[in-house]
């Protein structure tokens, strides 16, 4: 997420950062953020798998949903994922 100062009523266009359909195992990847409250954190790595099944739920006993994800070896922690 990028926060703009004084953007006013400017018409903004999203910047495409990548196309997950074109990613190949071995491609470089990056995670940017502020994990655990640490500012300016950047980690790098590679895509190590495609279409990795990942389950997600609300932790309250609801039915899990599944998605295909890209797996990376870049260190990802709460705040930069």
Quote the CA–CA distance of 48 and 16 in Å, as a whole number.
22
Q: Is residue 41 part of a domain?
A: yes
Give the count of domains, the chain.
Answer: 1
Tens-digit pLDDT profile for residues 6-15: 888 888 888 7
Backbone dihedral region of 41: left (phi > 0), alpha (psi from -120 to 50 degrees) or beta?
beta
Residue 26 has a pLDDT of 96
Question: Per the domain annotation, does 54 fall within a domain?
Answer: yes
In 3D space, the residue among 49, 47, 51, 42 whose CA is nearest the CA of residue 76 turns out to be 42
| Assigned domain for 63 exists | yes
For residue 20, being part of any structural domain is answered with: no
- What is the domain extent for residue 50? 28-72
**pLDDT value of residue 57:** 76
pTM over the 0.85 mark: no
Contact 42, 30 (CB under 8 A): yes
Q: Is residue 46 part of a domain?
A: yes
């Amino acid at each position: 997420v990028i926060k703009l100062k004084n953007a006013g009523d400017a018409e903004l266009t999203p910047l495409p950062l990548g196309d997950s359909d074109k990613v190949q195992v071995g491609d470089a990847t990056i995670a940017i953020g502020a994990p655990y409250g640490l500012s300016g954190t950047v980690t790098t790595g590679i895509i190590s798998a495609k279409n990795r099944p990942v389950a997600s739920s609300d932790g309250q006993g609801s039915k899990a949903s599944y998605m295909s994800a890209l797996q990376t070896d870049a260190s990802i922690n709460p705040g930069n994922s």
